[in-house]
Amino acid sequence: MVAKRIIPCLDVKDSCTVKGVNFVGLRDAGDAVELEHRYSLEGADELVYLDISATQEGRSTFCSLVEKIALTINIPFTVGGGISTLEDAARLLDAGADKISVNSAAIRNPQLISDIASKYGSQFVVIAIDARQIDGRWMATTHGGKVPTDKELLSWAYEAQERGAGELLFTSMDHDGTKAGYPLATYKALNEKLKIPVIASGGAGCVKDIADVLSEGCADAALAASIFHFGEIAIPDLKIELNKLNIPVRL
């Protein structure tokens, strides 16, 4: 049985990790390089870095950070945020990222998924979808969940898969930072719809939340931020508890 993955997520602004609720009210969660070193030692399976700096200067800072991380980390890491061209993806992959994550730009230009996958391979492309429920339907959003689109979650995820995405990172904007658990039925529906791995994001507050999304929700990986950043759950302890529940993880 394939092991389930535990993935800390670091939202990075000017080399610092920040975290909020529903993508607002950001607070400092620590130095990004120090956190990645800690999580690597603690047994994280992968890391995800999202650049939330909007300026070109922020992009340059982030590329330098990616280079620094690549020299010190021994687990795979994905980077995303503001990737809108093949050149953006190339710059981050050349800096040492193992995978790149595309989100808003792929909604504007779905061909971007195909272009990156054609050049680098599907295994390098993660389609990130930030969605919330609108009139009972899960709809993809942009701008931190503030701007709705006409992309329905399941159909957009399937299209992205067919265009070459090798993995899906779905964040529930309704649950992000709330620590109220993941929308399990939605993750199960994604698992049934797709052939590619699904990473669950948004809502982890305790071991049970993560166990539920990996078992009942059928997610291939669980991504979390604040519970790791602020020491509420230690990754080794989490994996021990998941193992006791017969959820396969790398100890």
Point out the catalytic residue in the list 11, 45, 209, 212.
11
CA–CA separation, 233 and 35 (whole Å)? 14
Distance of CA 179 to the CA centre of its chain: 16
CB 139 within 8 A of CB 132: yes
28 has catalytic annotation: no
CB 202 within 8 A of CB 228: no
- What are 220's two structure tokens? 């291939």
* 18, 25, 189 from 221: Cα distances, Å: 22, 26, 15
- Residue 147's DSSP bridge partners are 142
Point out the catalytic residue in the list 51, 130, 176, 212.
130
CA–CA separation, 128 and 130 (whole Å)? 7
- What are 2's two structure tokens? 């394939």
* 71, 192, 208 from 200: Cα distances, Å: 28, 14, 14
150 has catalytic annotation: no
CA-CA-CA-CA dihedral for 73, 76, 80, 84, to nearest 10: 120
Hey, which residues are catalytic here? 11, 130
